[in-house]
Amino acid sequence: MTTRALLVLVAAAALCLPSAANAASTYNDAITGFEYYATSTEGHFAGSASGALPGYWDTVVDHTPLSLSSTPTATITGGSFSLATGYTLVTGTFTGGTVQVTNVGAGCTNQTFDVEGTLSDVGPWYLGSGTGTFSAILTHYRKSVWGYCVTYAASVSGSFSLTF
């Protein structure tokens, strides 16, 4: 076999092999943010991410009605995740998880919840087939105003891990 034929054969074989660019990668980021809208069965959150995919994220978490005396407090039934990075828009869909109260906020003190969600269809521009997890502590800041307990703000902090 000539050198030229050998080079052609090696090049052809290299084209048939999966490239490293097509291999799935896992990205882990820390997040901070706030809850900007909520109902008894849905929470909307946004904030910033730092780590492997720095940028700004937004998520909607759909869940069963909150029941502070139940374990879990609610079950995640759906929702969406998006992350705008300097490179692309990464999206995903919530497929399950839980919301669990960790401090009920007796006497109108702050409430905290552990939000643990699983994601599917993760990847760029709504075309993903990857997976992920979303993990955050949600804090409702509350104050008694004229005898009523009022939530006046809410923050989130935690992390996500995306594989696509």
113: CB partners within 8 A, 6+ apart: 73, 99, 100, 101, 102, 137, 138, 139, 140
In this predicted structure, the answer to whether residue 65 has a pLDDT above a threshold of 50 is yes
Neighbours of 152 (CB within 10 A): 9
pTM of the model: 0.83
Mean pLDDT on 132-149: 97
Gyration radius (Cα) of the chain, Å: 22
What domains can be seen in the chain, in order of their start residue?
24-163 (2.40.160)
Question: Exposed (0-12), middle (13-18) or buried (19+): which is 97, by Cβ within 10 Å?
Answer: buried
Mean of pLDDT over the chain? 89
Contact 121, 143 (CB under 8 A): no
CA distance 45 to 38: 9
Confidence of residue 23 (pLDDT cuts 50, 70, 90): confident
The tens digit of pLDDT for each residue in 1-20 reads 543 433 333 333 333 333 44
In this predicted structure, the answer to whether residue 158 has a pLDDT above a threshold of 60 is yes
The tens digit of pLDDT for each residue in 90-124 reads 999 999 999 999 999 999 999 999 999 999 999 99
Paired sense of beta strands 130-145 and 148-163, if any? antiparallel
